[in-house]
């Protein structure tokens, strides 16, 4: 995986992963109240690949999230990303982030997300993936849900949370926070955070470390990594806050984590 342009080329930080050697595309994911749109990427002709659920940022399953799925598929994983806001609206039509949060994100209950992620696992298993080896990774809004789903589902064997809130959520439907559930997680979670991220105070990460240290075996195996010079969204190569050195390190840590636990 290349995180840098070739010599002599103009610098464009946006990463474009091709689909050579992959099966990939949008599909209709069966869920309890019908279907929702989803994207998957998996190695061609590979059966029993471990499943990795990819949980979107607040912006939905756009090209960056699809690219993350393809990157994971290149590493041998069956990656699935569902449009978890579909019932509430289309995030791609918004340019105002506060309005997006108030009109769509704040209306998405955790239980709805859990059920949709359960459906992703079931669907992947029917396609020949190994639904007994399930990892989950997510970004921002999805970073919080990574912790929450790892605590919710015993199917999860490993999680990697990228800069998700741990002491708060988005909107009045949120009844529990990461700090409430992390000590009883079903799977070890690697949390990757930014030292310059004003939306996630460092003292909340200290509190999370304390909760994990006092928790069950999976909680005690979890880790928190803070990149001192990074800001929120440092893996988002299509955005100005992308920080290549920390994105590269975090990506390698994630792969090592999944290799260890899946």
Catalytic sites, residue numbers: 140, 197, 232
φ/ψ (deg, to 5) at 190: -100, 120
C-alpha count within 13 angstroms, C-beta hemisphere, residue 38: 24
Rounded CA separation 129/134 (Å): 10
- Full DSSP string of 14-83: ------TTEEEEEEEEEETTEEEEEEEEEETT--SPEEEEEE-BTTBS-HHHHHHHHHHHHTT-EEEEE-
| Residue 217 to residue 223: CA distance in whole angstroms | 12
How far is 199 from 57, CA to CA, in rounded Å?
14
Helix, strand, coil content of the chain in percent (nearest 5): 35, 25, 40
The token duo for 255 is 């792969």
Residue 5 per-residue DSSP state: P
The answer to whether the CB of 164 falls within 8 A of the CB of 138 is: yes
- Other Cβ atoms less than 10 A from the Cβ of 236: the count is 22
Query: Are 172 and 106 a contacting pair, CB within 8 Å?
Result: yes
């Amino acid at each position: 995986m290349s995180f840098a342009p070739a010599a002599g080329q103009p610098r464009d930080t946006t990463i474009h992963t091709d689909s050579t050697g992959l099966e990939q595309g949008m599909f209709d994911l069966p869920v309890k109240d019908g279907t929702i749109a989803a994207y998957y990427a998996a190695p061609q002709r590979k059966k029993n690949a471990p499943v990795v659920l990819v949980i979107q940022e607040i912006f939905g399953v756009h090209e960056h999230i699809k690219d993350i799925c393809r990157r994971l598929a290149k590493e041998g994983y069956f990656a699935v990303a569902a449009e978890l806001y579909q019932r509430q609206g289309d995030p791609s039509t918004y340019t105002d982030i506060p309005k997006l949060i108030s009109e769509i994100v704040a209306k998405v209950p955790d239980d709805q997300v859990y059920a949709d992620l359960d459906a992703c696992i079931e669907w992947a298993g029917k396609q020949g993936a190994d639904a007994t080896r399930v990892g989950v990774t997510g970004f921002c809004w999805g970073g919080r849900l990574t912790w929450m789903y790892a605590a919710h589902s015993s199917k999860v064997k490993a999680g990697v949370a990228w800069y998700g809130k741990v002491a708060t959520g988005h909107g009045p439907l949120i009844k529990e926070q990461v700090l409430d559930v992390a000590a009883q997680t079903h799977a070890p979670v690697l949390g990757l955070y930014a030292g310059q991220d004003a939306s996630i105070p460092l003292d909340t990460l200290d509190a999370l470390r304390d909760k994990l240290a006092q928790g069950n075996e999976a909680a005690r195996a979890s880790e928190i990594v803070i990149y001192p010079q990074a800001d929120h969204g440092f893996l988002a190569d299509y955005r100005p806050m992308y920080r290549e050195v920390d994105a590269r390190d975090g990506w390698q840590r994630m792969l090592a984590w999944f290799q260890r636990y899946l």
